[in-house]
A and B are shown apart, each in its own frame.
Chain A
Amino acid sequence: EIVLTQSPGTLSLSPGERATLSCRASRLFDSRYLAWYQQKSGRAPRLLIYGTSTRATGIPDRFSGSGSGTDFTLTISRLEPEDFAVYYCQQYGSSEYSFGQGTKLEVK
Chain B
Amino acid sequence: QVQLVQSGAEVKQPGSSVKVSCKSSGDTFTNYAFSWVRQAPGQGLEWMGGIIPVFDSASYAHRLEDRVTITTDRSTTTVYMELRSLTSTDTALYYCAAEVGNDFNHPFDYWGQGTLVSVSS
Q: Which residues of A contact B (CB under 8 A)?
A: 1, 33, 35, 37, 39, 44-47, 50, 56, 88, 90, 92-93, 95-102
Contact = CB atoms under 8 A, between A and B. Distances in A.
The B contact surface, by secondary structure, is loop
Interface in B65-117: 95, 99, 104-109, 111-114
B59 A99 contact: no
Contacts of A39: 45
B45 A99 contact: yes
B10 interface: no
B113 A44 contact: yes
B30 to A, nearest CB: 19
A39 B35 CA distance: 17
A88 B62 contact: no
Nearest to B65: A96
Contact of B47 (A44, A47, A97): A97
A97 B50 contact: yes
Please tell me the size bucket of the interface on B.
Answer: 20 to 34
A36 to B, nearest CB: 9
A64 to B, nearest CB: 16
B46 A90 contact: no
A40 to B, nearest CB: 12
B107 A90 contact: yes
Interface string B40-72: 000011110010000000010110000000000
Given A44-B114, A95-B59, A96-B59, A35 B107 contact: yes
Given A1-B62, A97-B35, A45 B45 contact: yes
A15 B7 CA distance: 38
Nearest to A32: B105
A88 B95 contact: no
Contacts of A88: 44-45
Contacts of A45: 37, 45, 95, 108, 111
Nearest to B50: A97
A50 B105 CA distance: 11
A98 B44 CA distance: 11
